[in-house]
Structures are given as C-alpha cells and as structure tokens.
A and B are shown apart, each in its own frame.
Chain A
Amino acid sequence: MDLARTEVTEAKARPGKGRSRGGAARLGLMAVPVAFFALFFAYPVSAIVGRGLHIDGAWQFGRITEVLGQSDIRHVLWFTTWQALASTALTLLIALPGAYVFARFDFPGKQVLRAVVTVPFVLPTVVVGTAFLALLGRGGLLDELWGVRLDTTVWAILLAHVFFNYAVVVRTVGGLWAQLDPRQEEAARMLGASRFRAWRTVTLPALGPAVAAAALMVFLFTFTSFGVVQILGGPAYSTLEVEIYRQTAQLLDLPTAAVLTIVQFAAVGLILAVHAWTVRRRESALKLVDAATVARRPRGAGQWTLLGLVIATVAVLILLPLGVLIQRSFDGPDGFGFAYYKELTSAEGGAFLVPPIEAVGNSLRYAIVATAIAVVIGGLAAAALTRRAGRLVRGFDALLMLPLGVSAVTVGFGFLITLDKPPLDLRSSWILVPLAQALVGVPFVVRTMLPVLRAVDGRLREAAAVLGASPLRAWREVDLPMVRRALLIAAGFAFAVSLGEFGATVFIARPDNPTLPVAVARLLGRAGDLNYGQAMALSAILMVVCAVSLLLLERIRTDRTTGEF
C-alpha cells in the first residue's frame, strides 16, 4: 500500500508530445490486467450474484428491499458498520504512538520488531482466533490477573482487529512520518509556537491524509472481517461477510446472499471512492527527507517513557498472542519438546492423505505461482497507471482494490459455476488456488509499485530513447534498476498474503495438496491431543515463514524511494 506516499515527483512524468502513442501503450498494458480481472473476478462474482437474483428468466430486484427489510439483516448491517468504526478508532488510538516511535526513534531491534508487528497482518484468522481465546478467554492472562474474560464480547473482536491492523497504521503513517522534515516543526517553534501548536499546525496537516488513508484501509479490513468475528464473537455477532458465508455455504439461500454481496460491494466501493478522494487531496508536494537522517535515539524521560509504552503495548497485544501459539506447539504430551513437530512428518494421523508437513511445500509452491501472477498482473497495471491519469484510469485503480472487499465465498462459488467449461475448466486444476490468491495479492503489488514507478523521471527514459535505445532496452536500463527493490518488496507482500490466504483457498484447495492455513483448520477440526498439537506446530511454522520473508524485506527495504507495504 502506498498510502503514505506523497507523489512528489508525479508532475515530472509529463504527458509530453507522444500523447496518443502513450494512450495506446497504456491500453496495451492495461489489457492483460483487465482481462485477468474480468475473467477471474468480475465474471465469477457477477455469475453467482446473477444466479441469486435472476430467477426463472426475470430479475428479482424486489428481493433487495425484501432482504433489507428484515430486522436481523439490518441488525447485521448495523453491527458490521459500528464494529468497523470502533475497531478503526481503537486501532488508530493504539497504533499512532507506535507509528511515531517507529518513525522517529532509533533503538536496537527496531527492524525485527517492525517485521514482527507485520506478522499478524498475514496470519490466517483461524490461527489468531485460537491465540486470542487463550489470552482473553477463560484462564487467560486477563482472567488470571483480574478475573476478566472477554471472549464472546465485542471487546475481543475489537482487540483482535487492533492486533491484525496495527502494522497498517505503523507502516503507512509511520512511513510518511519518518520522512517529514523535522526542521519545519522546529522552525515553527523558533517562531514562538508551543510544542503542541507546532505539531498541530505543521506535522498534523502533513500527516492527515496518511492517517485518513490508513483509517480507510483498517475500516475496509474490519468491515469485511470474517474469522475474527466468527471465532471470537461467538454466534451472537455476525458481520455482512459472515452472513454472506452462512447464506451461501450453509443455507444455499442465493438470493439473500446476492443482495448482501451487492450491499457489501456498494459499501466497499464507497470506502474506495473516499480513499481515492483523500489520495488526490494529498497530491500536494511535501518536503521529504531520508528517514535514516531523522530517526535518532530517544532523549529525555518523556521520550523513553513513550518508547517503553509502545514496546509494552506491542508486547502485550502482539507478541503475547504469538507467544501463546509457540508455547502450545512445544507443550507436548511428555513435557516441552518437539513431539508435535515430529508428528507432522507422519501420514498416520489420517486427517490427510499425506504427512501434514507437506502443507509447507504446498503453501510455498502455491505462493510462488500466486506471487508470479500477482507481480505480472499488478506490475502491468501499475505501469499503466503510472502516468498522470484521467478519471477512467483512476477508476481502474480503485477497481484493482475491490477483491480485498469481496467475500471469498462469493468468489469461490463463482469459480465453481463459471470456470467449469473448456477451455476454462479449471475447477479441479491446481492453478485455481494461486489464481484466487493472486486476486488478493495484486492490490498490494499495485500499491507498492505505483509510487516508485511514478517517481522514475520520464526524462531519463526519453534521454535513453534519444541515444538510440529501444523501448525494451530503455526499460531495462532505466526503469528496472530503479524499481527492482520495489518489485522485490511487492513480490514479498504478495507472497506473504498468499501464504496466509484462507477464505478462498479453503474452497478450492485439493485434498492431497492442503496449504498451511487449510491444514491447520482441518487439524483443529478433529478431536485428540496430537491433532491439536500438530495444528499449533503448523501455525508456528507458518508464523516463522511469514516472519522470515518479512525480515528479508526489511533488509532490502532501506531505500526511501520504495512504497509502503
């Protein structure tokens, strides 16, 4: 996500004289992503919605008012909205100090910590729900200390949402904050402004759009929350996403599911429109500096306290739940040890046709293919969006985000009824899993690549052309070296998202090739100590794989010309 990026250099990419040629080139670049989204997103989703609303040859639009008239559906809508608002507010409240600390302070272990706070973002909710129950439920930390239990309350949902989205705020807001020139605020203070006034009049307006963008992303993720609400909220709470799943997969009430899908679509569209509006508003130039020159050791008791508080928050809110999972994975039948990990290599358990450890290989293979697809599609889309864009192209930009807001069960069922005829009979093909995962990965690739591509000075390319380089050669010599890092980071995020993707994968993963999250869910679905322990061990492995890929990113991600996320 480039949410924090201010596209300072965008003006440099002037349309120039070859306008019509550029337009044609852009159409060419857009063709592949457009075809991809039409085929693997728009077509399946509209087919399943159509199946629900187009009955006996007539459109049943009356169903919309009928469904929305039901009091329990309105209750779901109301709960979905207010819990997302509350989650967003709470996440900002808790994560903004973190964003400041990560942006402005230098302390040992900062990189590791930043990778770790991002791990939850890509963990499947089945896993996290379990960890949270262990903390907030009976016998959990809160219970033991104060006798407070939060499971099946809305507090558990809100806290888990903070856990998942902490990194969104830290990375988007913190990313920009780290590059704001502190001398501007200092100048205001020199001119007599109080510390707070200087911050309010100088820093806050500069940060505002990034905060708004982060808030919108958190709102989007929590508005469509599924696993967290299902596991932690108990049966009394239901979001639109949960209700769509229930109506589709359990009750086969396609008309109701279709109406709810349309409602969610409209809501997400609205969020994205607001998002696009804030992005445009902050296209004003900011003076940015290298983050490395700004961050320094905290000074004074106040700053050390702040750092301490943030680290304590991260420890309690993020490290503790992750720690619980790790602890349980080692807490074997004969005391602490690797018993559950060893068990993963045997096919005796019977939950699968293969030893569960093979899920690691499956996950990696799927994620690699998904990453390749996402990088190609997202990269082409980002390239098409690079130049100053009209309304149509901006609309395309927003469209690329839609898969993040559409229910996985809708996509999964859509695949089932549309991709079933040659030449697109993909239902039993392994490629379906990476395709579905790539749908979720593309938005991340676009968000990462776009600001960097926009920052490449078009004049360099023109210079290369003048010197006789072919367009391909100009791209290889000019663009590629500059975007290589962003490309790696984009790939890394697509990879991590694919590893953690559960909702769509669970619908299409083949039994002999379960992915890690699917294997975890399936192991949790059986009684017995060894099954439960193996689920914990696999979760721990998934966590480590995520953390390692993110750490690798952190090592690469040092240049300030890269996007956030």
Chain B
Amino acid sequence: MSTTKKVTFTAVAVGIGLVAVSACGSSDSGSGKTDSKSVTLVSHDSFNVSKDVLKDFEKRSGYKVNVLKDGDAGAAVNKAILSKDNPQGDVFFGVDNTLLSRALDNGLFQPYEAKDAGMVLPEYRLAKGEKRVTPVDSGDICVNYDKKYFADKKLAPPKSFEDLVKPQYKDLLVTENAATSSPGLGFLLGTAAEYGDGGWEGYWKKLKANGVKVVDGWEQAYNEEFSGSAGGKKAKGDRPLVVSYASSPPVEVLYAKPQPKEAPTGVATGTCFRQVEYAGLLSNAKNTKGGKALLDFLSGKQFQDDMPLQMFVNPVREAAQVPKLFREYGVEVKKPETMDPKKIADNREPWIKSWTSLVLK
C-alpha cells in the first residue's frame, strides 16, 4: 500500500472504530423490558407528549413509560391486530373511527373504563356499554385554502362541499387517494355522509368533471401541490385548495420563523369530517395494572391539556384548555360530518372500490 492509501485505510478504520464504540455505549438502552415497573404504549407516528407531562406521570404512578410508534395510523392498527396474541405493549392509542370496527371485531382490546370516562364530552362517547375503548382526541379533516390566492383573484374561498363543484373553483382542489391515505378516506366519508349512500358517487362525478386532482398521500398533496403551505410555496404548488386538517393553519404559524400575524391558510368549514381517536387496553397486555393507569392518564386533564400543541388535535374532555394558538389561528368547526364506526366498517371496502374506479380510472 502506498502512504496515501495507508492513511485512508487508517482513517476509515479509526472512524469505524469510533462510531462502533459509541454504538456500544448507547445500545444498552435498547431492548424494551416488560417488568411490572414499566408500561408500553403502542401508537402511530403522530403520537407526541411533552416531556415534563410524561415525566410527571411516571413520577406519580411509579411506571416507566415506553412509547412504541409503529408506522402510520392504518399500519399501526393492523400490526397490533396481527400481534394481538403476543402484543408489543399494554395500551394501544390511535385507532380512529374509520378503523375502530376492524380493531373491535378482531378482539384487540379488553374492557376497561377510564377513571375520567364521565368527563368525555357527550358527542365523542360511544354506545353505552362499550368499554373496550376510550376516546382521546378528535380532529377534523377539511378542505384548506390558500388565503393569498383567493385575495389576489378577488374570489371568495369555498365554504361547503357544494361550492367545490362550482365552475369558479375548477382545477383548484387536490385531495388524497382514499384507498391509501386517511385524510383521503375522511374526505370521501365526509361526502358520503353529506350526500348519502346513493348520492356521493354523483357528487364525485361532478368533482372529477370540475378538475379535482388526486395524489397518493398527504405529504404530496400538502407539501407539493398546495400553493398555501410552506413546502408547496417552494415547490410552486398551483392548487389553492387541499384536503388537510382544521388544525393545519395554526401549525403553519407555529412552524414559521418569524411567526406571521395571521395564518396563511384557511379552512372551508362546511367540508369537514370528524375523526375521533381512541385508546384501549390490549387483550393480552402483560401489565394490565400499568395499562389501566396509562389509560387514566391519556384521558386525564394534564394529558388532554398538553395534547393539542403536541399532536394538533382537539381534546375530548370537558373544559380542557384549548391553546391560544388554536383560538387565534384556528377555526371552530361547528357542524362536522360524522359517521357511525359500524357503518364505516360495512361500507369502507365497497366504497373505496367504487371510488377508485370512478375517480382514478
């Protein structure tokens, strides 16, 4: 070997050695232990909680909390179902009303009524006697609009589903694939709730004729196609209407530096579908006692107050604090569309099938 090669070789070797040493240093924090002093929460990627709130719970309860984020919402639920005989944790959080029936029918959860179940606002409660899951948060899937676009064009932004098929909004809307994306599915369910089992297909025909664009996931729709988001502006997105969440405008403010006086985007409040997320004690949980304490925590005041700015969803508990950011930059959705989880379960596959052949083909 020539000298330079020797030097390179040595440098590579030393580099690898150094990182290897640091790898060993951190790897002991690795394996998730399941002793009675720790409790494991399985959730999707969007789960978040403030560090001090979680620490406080750990201190009060004496349990160490492991959080396992297991992919997007759909995949996380399916993985939990697949591994239900030998679950990866004790509590699952993040099954929403569109998937609730699949989880319940597969026996994912065992009954437990959280201590503060009585504090859940009436509109989020499930049928009486259903104690296997506890509502934790709610969020609305709504069409968002680019304020600047509509101001420049001196055009009023759309307010309702009916507006979206009007000629002045032709070629402006981008939405997500209902088969692969939860906002996409939410929007489809919203139209089905609004126009009924027999009417939604006719509505989508009109929407298609009015130039709706469908992309695969929220990331593309929001960050690439939508002209009102930070990413979309850079990508020169040209669709001023996008299917996203009612909480997206405050998020645009929070993650901007400097924070603007007004959110750059708005919400068409007549196009919303309400998603409710639930948590439950897994059927074969190893630490049921800890799991119960964790469920009490999720529906407790401290977590419910903390949640909005962590996950950008609304608390379901009476008198939970809505953060200033939400009040100032967000909107209140008065009459969102909803649908019974049972009805969703019965129709979701056939609807997605007909939607796919109607809109994508």
Binding site for B on A (CB under 8 A): 51, 130, 133-134, 137-140, 152, 230-231, 234-236, 246, 248-252, 328, 331, 333-334, 339, 349-351, 353, 361, 364-365, 368-369, 372, 413, 416-417, 420-421, 427-431, 488, 491, 506-507, 510-512, 522, 524-533, 552, 555-556, 558
Closest to B231 in A: A532
Q: How far is the CB of B161 from chain A (nearest CB, A)?
A: 21
A368 engages B255 (CB within 8 Å): no
B248 engages A413 (CB within 8 Å): no
A527 engages B179 (CB within 8 Å): no
Given A235-B214, A525-B45, A528-B251, residue A506 in contact with residue B71 (CB < 8 A): yes
Cβ contacts A to B, 18 pairs, < 8 Å:
A235-B215, A246-B180, A248-B78, A252-B81, A351-B48, A353-B51, A430-B31, A431-B30, A510-B69, A511-B45, A511-B47, A512-B67, A525-B218, A525-B219, A527-B248, A552-B11, A555-B4, A556-B8
B255 engages A139 (CB within 8 Å): no
Count: A-B pairs, CB below 8 Å:
171
List residues of chain A with CB within 8 A of the CB of B256: 333, 528-530
Closest to B352 in A: A251
* B127 at the A interface (CB under 8 A): no
Residue with the greatest number of chain B CB neighbours at <10 A, chosen from A139, A246, A416: A416
* Alpha-carbon gap, A479 to B79, bound state (A): 46
Residue with the greatest number of chain B CB neighbours at <10 A, chosen from A137, A250, A368, A511: A250
Q: How far is the CB of A409 from chain B (nearest CB, A)?
A: 8
* Alpha-carbon gap, A191 to B254, bound state (A): 76
* B310 at the A interface (CB under 8 A): yes
A527 engages B75 (CB within 8 Å): no
Closest to A428 in B: B32
Inter-chain pairs besides A416-B79, A555-B4, 17 sampled, C-beta below 8 Å: A138-B236, A140-B236, A234-B215, A235-B360, A236-B361, A248-B78, A250-B180, A350-B48, A365-B19, A429-B32, A430-B30, A510-B68, A525-B219, A527-B248, A528-B230, A531-B255, A532-B229
Given A365-B22, A522-B45, residue A250 in contact with residue B179 (CB < 8 A): yes
Quick check: which of B82-90, B294-302, B333-341 contacts chain A, the rest being far away? Answer: B82-90
B86 engages A511 (CB within 8 Å): no
B179 engages A235 (CB within 8 Å): yes
Of the residues A140, A420, A532, A533, contact of B83 by C-beta under 8 Å: A420
List residues of chain B with CB within 8 A of the CB of A353: 51, 67
* Alpha-carbon gap, A552 to B14, bound state (A): 13
B224-248 Cβ-contact flags toward A at 8 Å (1 or 0): 1000011100111110000010001
Closest to A75 in B: B361
Closest to A328 in B: B234
B235 engages A134 (CB within 8 Å): yes
Q: How far is the CB of A481 from chain B (nearest CB, A)?
A: 10
Of the residues A139, A234, A351, A511, contact of B235 by C-beta under 8 Å: A139
* Alpha-carbon gap, A349 to B257, bound state (A): 12
B74 engages A249 (CB within 8 Å): yes
Given A331-B234, A530-B257, residue A430 in contact with residue B214 (CB < 8 A): no
List residues of chain A with CB within 8 A of the CB of B236: 138-140
List residues of chain A with CB within 8 A of the CB of B83: 416-417, 420, 427
List residues of chain A with CB within 8 A of the CB of B257: 333-334, 339, 529-530
Residue with the greatest number of chain B CB neighbours at <10 A, chosen from A231, A417, A525, A529: A529
Interface residues of B in 177-225 (CB under 8 A from A): 177, 179-180, 214-220, 222-224
List residues of chain B with CB within 8 A of the CB of A491: 16
* Alpha-carbon gap, A522 to B180, bound state (A): 17
Q: Top 10 nearest A-B pairs by Cβ distance?
A: A528-B255, A139-B236, A529-B230, A428-B32, A430-B30, A511-B69, A235-B177, A532-B231, A365-B23, A249-B75
List residues of chain B with CB within 8 A of the CB of A138: 235-238
A488 engages B71 (CB within 8 Å): no
B252 engages A368 (CB within 8 Å): no
List residues of chain B with CB within 8 A of the CB of A552: 8, 11-12
* B5 at the A interface (CB under 8 A): yes
A556 engages B9 (CB within 8 Å): yes
List residues of chain B with CB within 8 A of the CB of A506: 71
* B3 at the A interface (CB under 8 A): no
List residues of chain B with CB within 8 A of the CB of A248: 78
B48-80 Cβ-contact flags toward A at 8 Å (1 or 0): 100100000000000000111101101100110
* Alpha-carbon gap, A333 to B258, bound state (A): 8
Closest to A552 in B: B12
Given A488-B12, A528-B256, residue A555 in contact with residue B214 (CB < 8 A): no
Given A235-B180, A250-B180, residue A152 in contact with residue B16 (CB < 8 A): no
A488 engages B9 (CB within 8 Å): yes
Closest to B219 in A: A524
A532 engages B230 (CB within 8 Å): yes
List residues of chain B with CB within 8 A of the CB of A488: 9, 12
Residue with the greatest number of chain A CB neighbours at <10 A, chosen from B12, B16, B222, B231: B231
* Alpha-carbon gap, A289 to B159, bound state (A): 73
* Alpha-carbon gap, A172 to B158, bound state (A): 56
Residue with the greatest number of chain B CB neighbours at <10 A, chosen from A235, A427, A522: A235
Q: How far is the CB of B171 from chain A (nearest CB, A)?
A: 12
A249 engages B179 (CB within 8 Å): no
Of the residues B88, B220, B255, contact of A133 by C-beta under 8 Å: B220
Closest to B177 in A: A235
* Alpha-carbon gap, A552 to B10, bound state (A): 12
Given A235-B180, A430-B31, residue A527 in contact with residue B9 (CB < 8 A): no
* Alpha-carbon gap, A235 to B11, bound state (A): 47
* Alpha-carbon gap, A427 to B177, bound state (A): 31
Of the residues B23, B86, B224, B360, contact of A137 by C-beta under 8 Å: B224
B215 engages A152 (CB within 8 Å): yes
Residue with the greatest number of chain A CB neighbours at <10 A, chosen from B40, B234, B309, B349: B234
* Alpha-carbon gap, A230 to B67, bound state (A): 29
Q: How far is the CB of A160 from chain B (nearest CB, A)?
A: 14
Interface residues of B in 238-285 (CB under 8 A from A): 238, 244, 248, 251-252, 254-258
Q: How far is the CB of B13 from chain A (nearest CB, A)?
A: 9
Of the residues A139, A235, A527, contact of B251 by C-beta under 8 Å: A527
A413 engages B79 (CB within 8 Å): yes
List residues of chain B with CB within 8 A of the CB of A507: 71, 75
Residue with the greatest number of chain B CB neighbours at <10 A, chosen from A351, A506, A512, A524: A524
Closest to A372 in B: B20
List residues of chain A with CB within 8 A of the CB of B86: 420-421
List residues of chain A with CB within 8 A of the CB of B248: 527
List residues of chain B with CB within 8 A of the CB of A365: 19, 22-23, 26-27
* Alpha-carbon gap, A416 to B81, bound state (A): 11
Q: How far is the CB of B158 from chain A (nearest CB, A)?
A: 20
